[in-house]
Every structure is written in C-alpha cells, then in structure tokens.
Amino acid sequence: MVADRFPQSKAEALALLAAGGGPVVAGGTDLMVKRRRWSGLAPAIPETAVYVANIAELSYVKRRGSKIEIGGATPLEIILEHPLTPALLRGAIKETGSPGIRNTATLGGNLVNASPAADPALALTCLGASVRLESVKGVREVPVLGLSTGPGRTILNQDELLTAVLVPMDDGWNTAFVKVGGRKADAISKVSFASAVKIDDGIVTAFAVAFGAVGPTILRLPAIERTFVGLSCAEVREREKDIILAYGDVVRPIDDQRSNAHYRKTVALNLLSEFIRSI
C-alpha cells in the first residue's frame, strides 16, 4: 500500500526501515531526476521507498545548547529564512538550486545524496557539524566529515535515518562561501570553497577550510588545519605558499562535462589563497 510508505512519525519511518524498507525519499529533488522515466510514467523509485518529507517532527530549526539543531527533513528554504541559521550555511543554501528546488529539497537529503558538489553539505563539513543517525536499534551521532564515502555513497546502514543535523554556532567566526558554477544561479558547482576562522587577540584559535567538487567526497583536512591553530594571523599569512603546496597535493579534481581538472584545481587554490590573505 502506498499509504504505508508515507509514515507520519519518525517511529513509523524507522519501523518501515527496520522491516527492510528503502530507499528513503526526502524532498526527492535528486532521486526524481536520477530515477526519472518517460514523461507520464512515475519515476523508477522502488515500492519499498520510505517517504519522509511529511514527517512534521523531522522539520524544524532550534537551538540546543551551543549548537543549532536542524531536523533531517527540513526544507532548505525554511533553513535559509530561519534567524538561527549560521551565516555560512545560509550563504551556501542561498546558492543551491532554484527557489522551487529549495522549497522541496531537505538538508538531510542533501547530505545523504552524498554529492561532492553539494553546497549545504560543504558548509556543514566546514563548520564541523554532525548528524544524528537513528534506527530502531539506537542512535549514533557522527561528523558530517566522513559521512560520505564517495559519490552517492554514505556510511548509513540500510535501517538508519538521518534525523537531525547539529551545527556549531558560528558567532565570532569569520566565514566565507564561494560557489563557482556554470552560471550564476541554479547550477551545480564546478568547484566550491568554504572557510571558517576564529581569531582571538590576533591569534588563530580555530581554522577550517573545505572544498567541493574536487574529489569523490567533500574535502576537508583537519590534520593540516590543526597546524595553524595557535599561530598569529601574520604567521598564517606568511605561510601562504606552504599552505597552497600542502593543499595542492590533495586537491585532485577530474575532467568532466562541467569543467576540467586544471581549472578546478587552480580556482580551488586561488580561493584558498584569497582566504589566507584575508586572515
């Protein structure tokens, strides 16, 4: 029965997944395209699919301690307009798709779709956000960094549902998001860049950069980032060349129908340079 596939609560959704249901369909803006058929025919989405977009308890933005918690099925446009939304995430969502897509697409869907070019996922990775994965067996919280293992692949188990995203508040941080698409709106990123830095009394106390569309997953390298924490702003700026070299070794994009590897790499490193100089 189709009705069974539209659970009204998180518990119902988890029960369906526990019974072997899936895939999970949230806003459907990626799945409907991937599984599309001849117009007039329903997309080739299995009958076992679990549709979560209508579960009210999974759609919210609220403060939880020092973090913002966003329900997994919250549409991007709601997050964009919410006053609690961190600036970096807001900036990324603003450049995601078109208003029509943003009204339907969800934050959880954007993460689980696991595109290395996803803009909200890039912002969340840079901010050090985590996600709550739930199943009837229990709950776990894992970082967004590492959630995806490749294009379209994640660490989610078949019975798990991404129920919430936990985002550190970025008050006092300097953040920036740059999207480079084939055009100025409604485009898939050819390369994208997010940065977040916290400076106290001229000392860098937190540093994060993330790159989109330059590899099979969103790229963020905490091991490199840690080497800048505790340095003065001037010391970080002085190391621009070394930083570019370090990232140059790991930013390894490909040629495809939207751009080429050389352009992607050059632009990614240009954006990084600009960020370093701005510290």
CA gap 219, 249 in Å, rounded:
12
Min separation Cβ 262 and another protein, Å: 7
Nearest to another protein of 81, 256 (CB atom): 256
Nearest to another protein of 4, 274 (CB atom): 274
Q: Cβ(162)–Cβ(112) under 8 Å?
A: yes
Q: What is the three-class DSSP state of 168?
A: strand
Nearest to another protein of 47, 171 (CB atom): 47
CA gap 161, 71 in Å, rounded:
11
- Would you tell me how many other CB atoms lie within 10 Å of the CB of residue 195? 24
CA gap 165, 55 in Å, rounded:
16
Min separation Cβ 60 and another protein, Å: 30
Q: Cβ(67)–Cβ(167) under 8 Å?
A: yes
Nearest to another protein of 2, 41 (CB atom): 41
Nearest to another protein of 157, 260 (CB atom): 260
Dihedral, CA of residue 34, residue 82, residue 117 and residue 264, to nearest 10 = 150
Burial 234-262 (b: 16+ CB within 10 A, else e): eebeebeeebbebbeeebebeeeebbeee
Min separation Cβ 42 and another protein, Å: 9
**What are phi and psi for residue 85, nearest 5 degrees?**
-60, 125
Min separation Cβ 276 and another protein, Å: 13
Min separation Cβ 136 and another protein, Å: 35
Nearest to another protein of 153, 262 (CB atom): 262
Cross-sheet strand order for the sheet of 173-181: 173-181, 189-200, 203-212
Nearest to another protein of 106, 192 (CB atom): 192
Beta bridge partners of 50: 24
Q: Cβ(112)–Cβ(156) under 8 Å?
A: yes
Half-sphere CA count of 70, side-chain side, radius 13 A:
33
CA gap 115, 183 in Å, rounded:
19
Min separation Cβ 183 and another protein, Å: 5
What is the contact surface with another protein in residues (CB under 8 A)? 37-41, 178, 180-188, 257-260, 262-263, 266-267, 270-271, 274
Min separation Cβ 265 and another protein, Å: 11
Q: Cβ(37)–Cβ(65) under 8 Å?
A: no
Min separation Cβ 41 and another protein, Å: 5
Nearest to another protein of 12, 186 (CB atom): 186
